[in-house]
Homo-oligomer: A and B are copies of this chain.
């Protein structure tokens, strides 16, 4: 595949580049975005028009849209990535042996990243900047619905960076056939990151001959303990469910301790209903509200990606942990409690990329964690677990400094 070979060549030139030039290249992208807002909005309008003609959903069209305020936010995130601490070449450990041999670990780029994504065109910018910051080459394949925007942005990036780094550090591939080819480039592409719906992720996992890092689903829970601060609990549940119901870090199942006061449960349910949340409630729940829909076993394993919340009443912390061990998706799990032992036990026994102690599940996000942006969120534990920023796009190798040292035996 031409692009993969070009990336390998660009990689050899890119390793010679200094951090200063990587930063300058990223800042040039910010400048180019600022100088070309109208052209970008025009290119984006082609996609919006086509999306309307194809009768895509409102939510989908909203995700596609690039307007002035979104471009400004994008410029801010580009600058944030540029100004992050250096990751390439960082010495992360140093040990001197009794014989004087110095053993260090040093952070280096992974190499070439293949990124397959859907809809939002800002991914082109976020991921190009993260790749440059981390010293990697990246091959991007976006969805056809954002074709014009992606193409415009990729050209803008290549032009902007070419003064400081090889322009083929960032490449965009367009046709769909290229996806299966990309997944075949063993030895030329080091990792594949798919970002999008379940179908895309499954396709990539099934077909890739290259290691894949991806996030599957986000079936997130909040457990409200008997002694929880009830005001916090209501705020957190409302935020976690209704701020953006369609995203992976929204809560899907609420676990209520059986001793929570009925007034609290009623107040929480009313607050959710006021936000148009559909409740699916287990029969043991202590509420005076009538006509609530009953939860079925299926609800515990469903990621709604919608303004729907299942509610289960449980007897104690152990039962909550067990429920999450069975139904959780290793994405984000939260506990609201004032008992130190319970917070600790939850943290130690629940396995998820983010554990939230008295905080909303919505914080599991590269931006919120100060990564500038994220390449994706990994729900598998190899290499990275959770939002991936520039640091997660590197690996550590050994550098051994001797003075003629040889091994004894």
Contact = CB atoms under 8 A, between A and B. Distances in A.
Interface of A: 12, 15-16, 89, 95, 97, 101, 103, 108, 110-111, 190-191, 211, 213, 229, 231-232, 235-236, 238-240, 243, 325, 347-349, 351-360, 362-365, 368-370, 380-387, 395-407, 409
Contacts of A369: 103, 398
A363 B15 contact: no
27 contacts: A89-B348, A95-B370, A110-B381, A111-B381, A190-B382, A191-B382, A211-B211, A213-B382, A231-B404, A232-B403, A240-B406, A243-B409, A347-B399, A353-B398, A354-B398, A355-B399, A356-B402, A359-B400, A360-B402, A360-B407, A363-B402, A363-B407, A365-B407, A369-B398, A381-B395, A383-B395, A385-B396
A402 B358 CA distance: 5
B191 A359 contact: no
Contact of A348 (B15, B238, B364): B15
A95 B371 CA distance: 12
Q: Which of A213, A236, A404 has the most CB of B within 10 A?
A: A404
Given A101-B359, A351-B108, A386 B398 contact: yes
B357 A401 contact: yes
B381 A385 contact: no
A229 B385 contact: no
A191 to B, nearest CB: 6
User: Chain A interface secondary structure, helix, strand, loop or mixed?
Assistant: mixed
Given A356-B400, A359-B401, A400-B356, A235 B406 contact: yes
Given A103-B370, A349-B15, A370-B95, A382 B395 contact: yes
Given A213-B382, A354-B400, A358-B405, 15 more contacts: A103-B363, A110-B381, A111-B351, A240-B406, A243-B409, A354-B399, A356-B400, A357-B399, A358-B401, A358-B403, A358-B404, A359-B405, A359-B406, A364-B398, A382-B395
Nearest to A369: B103
A243 B235 CA distance: 66
B407 A352 contact: no
A108 B348 CA distance: 9
Contacts of A387: 398
Contact of A12 (B211, B239, B325, B355): B325
Q: Which of A103, A347, A356, A402 has the most CB of B within 10 A?
A: A402
Nearest to A229: B404
A347 B397 CA distance: 11
A399 to B, nearest CB: 5
